[in-house]
């Protein structure tokens, strides 16, 4: 297979990023600096910045679909429309056709899930399932107790009052919020209704899937345990 595809399948980065590593002469193939378009054959040793990378072991039961977690950077748009510059599909550059589950607006960052399995999207997004999503938020004014209590109780946006949620202060200008609904631009509009502007918004958790140490722009495959927690009644992975 092509060397960039081999590198991407180890989970290190996307094929596009692998091409850039090769162009920068940071990749060796059996001890020799790899050339753009190089091929990897079974048994060849691949190193990136001097570190050997290996194929991931095959799962006991091969999945039918792709499920990945991406740390979406600011500026990437959660759309499958490839005519949109900076669309998430081209950014991930996955070898299979995938699409995002829900969205994060262009100016927000953090955890978003993508899949090739259209059957699970509604199950994850369905409001009555009350799946938790956790965010860290920075605002332009000091966070006070009135703000925290009002946010937790519910704020009128989109001609409705948001569902009660958990909110806690993190710093003078920052707070953590856990939502169980996903109205369009919900956190930003809730803050604006109370006279605050969001200056930073990062999603760190969706149900049991955590952002953890995943670097901005990087993605990884979900584990079997994460899928089981995310979709406890779904087995057709």
Contact predicate 227/67, CB 8 Å:
yes
DSSP, residue by residue, 122-146: HHHH-GGG---EEEEEEESS---HH
Three-state DSSP class for residue 18:
helix
| Residues 18, 26: Cα–Cα separation, whole Å | 10
Contact predicate 102/179, CB 8 Å:
no
Token pair recorded at residue 3: 């060397």
Question: Is 224 a residue of the active site?
Answer: no
Three-state DSSP class for residue 225:
helix
Handedness of CA 65, 36, 31, 25 (dihedral sign): negative
| Residues 22, 15: Cα–Cα separation, whole Å | 10
| Residues 124, 231: Cα–Cα separation, whole Å | 8
Q: What angle do CA 224, 215, 60 make, to 5 degrees?
A: 20
Catalytic residue, candidates 81, 105, 119, 224: 105
Enzyme catalytic residues: 105
């Amino acid at each position: 297979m092509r060397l960039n595809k081999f590198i991407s399948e180890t989970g290190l980065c996307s094929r596009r990023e692998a091409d850039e590593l090769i162009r920068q002469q940071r990749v060796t193939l059996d001890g020799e600096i790899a050339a753009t378009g190089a091929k990897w054959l079974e048994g060849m040793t691949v190193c990136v910045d001097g570190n050997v990378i290996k194929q991931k072991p095959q799962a006991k039961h091969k999945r039918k679909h792709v499920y990945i977690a991406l740390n979406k950077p600011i500026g990437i748009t959660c759309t499958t429309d490839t005519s949109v510059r900076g669309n998430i599909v081209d950014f991930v550059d996955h070898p299979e056709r995938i699409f995002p589950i829900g969205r994060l607006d262009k100016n927000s960052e953090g955890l978003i899930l993508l899949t090739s399995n259209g059957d699970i999207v509604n199950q994850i997004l369905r409001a009555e399932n009350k799946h938790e999503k956790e965010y860290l938020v920075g605002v332009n004014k000091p966070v006070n107790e009135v703000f925290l209590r009002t946010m937790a109780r519910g704020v009128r946006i989109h001609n409705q009052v948001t569902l009660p949620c958990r909110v806690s202060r993190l710093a003078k200008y920052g707070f953590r919020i856990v939502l169980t609904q996903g109205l369009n631009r919900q956190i930003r509009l809730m803050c604006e209704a109370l006279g605050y502007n969001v200056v930073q918004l990062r999603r760190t958790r969706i149900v049991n899937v955590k952002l953890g140490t995943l670097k901005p722009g990087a993605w990884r495959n979900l584990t079997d345990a994460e899928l089981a927690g995310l979709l406890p009644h779904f087995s057709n992975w």
